[in-house]
Amino acid sequence: MMVTLSFDVEQDCPPFASTFKGLREGLPEVMDLLEEYGIRGTFLFTGRAAEAFPELARRAAKKHELGCHGLEHERFDRLTASEAGGRLRKALSILRRFGRVVSFRAPNFQFPDGYYPVLENLGILVDSTKARHKGWRGGVTPIGGLLEVPASMTSIVTRLPWRIQLRVHEKLEEPAVYIFHPWEFVRMPRSLRPDCWFGTGKPALSKLRHLIEYHVEKDATFLTLAEYLDVYQKLKRG
């Protein structure tokens, strides 16, 4: 099984909060955990998150994969193609100060299909905006000049009790592309929407460790989003 641990690095549960407690306290612990197991994750930063926490963006680029999650967690389906290009250009100009950036996921899984040439023109090679829990039925497949690596599930699944979420993991199609957010690994206040605080904090970090060990025991191959480019080329060559 090919497995990807991807993290949308943004402010705390946007748009319901604007703090960065998740980056300040949660993300370093997540990176420590992955590095303990020798796993490279994909950390898709907003440009503003990278500006505010340059040391974490630098660490992501050096030890994992650094990707793009927009400039300020904007909804691209509410922008024109020209506006989307401008926002992405600004985001990438920030992120590429820290290293190579070729992967992208749009906030809220919303990115118009007609805007994919915008990504290509800005040097994005891999997209992970399509999601199976949003109705996407394809696997890893090219869309125009990009490789689409679809997300497998909504992030709240990995905060459920293990005996419940295990049933989901056992039925996942390959590749299993998981999504997390830094704010999930710090305790979020109950004044927010329930999906913003349910299961957050230390329990989420413990369940991430459990998930890693589950796939390690099954001899999974952990890949960053960019590494699917080589996998896909090898599959094409037969």
Query: From CA 25, how far away is CA 10, in angstroms rounded?
Result: 13
161 is in which domain, residue-wise? Answer: 2-237
Query: From CA 100, how far away is CA 133, in angstroms rounded?
Result: 29
Please state whether the predicted TM-score (pTM) of the whole model is above 0.85: yes
Query: From CA 93, how far away is CA 130, in angstroms rounded?
Result: 24
For 142-172, what is each residue's pLDDT tens digit? 998 999 999 999 999 999 999 999 999 999 9
CATH of the domain at 30: 3.20.20.370
For 183-228, what is each residue's pLDDT tens digit? 999 999 999 999 999 999 999 999 999 999 999 999 999 999 999 9
Confidence of residue 234 (pLDDT cuts 50, 70, 90): confident
User: Mean pLDDT, the chain, as a whole number?
Assistant: 95
Overall number of domains in the chain: 1
Confidence of residue 238 (pLDDT cuts 50, 70, 90): low
Residue 18's pLDDT is what?
A: 87
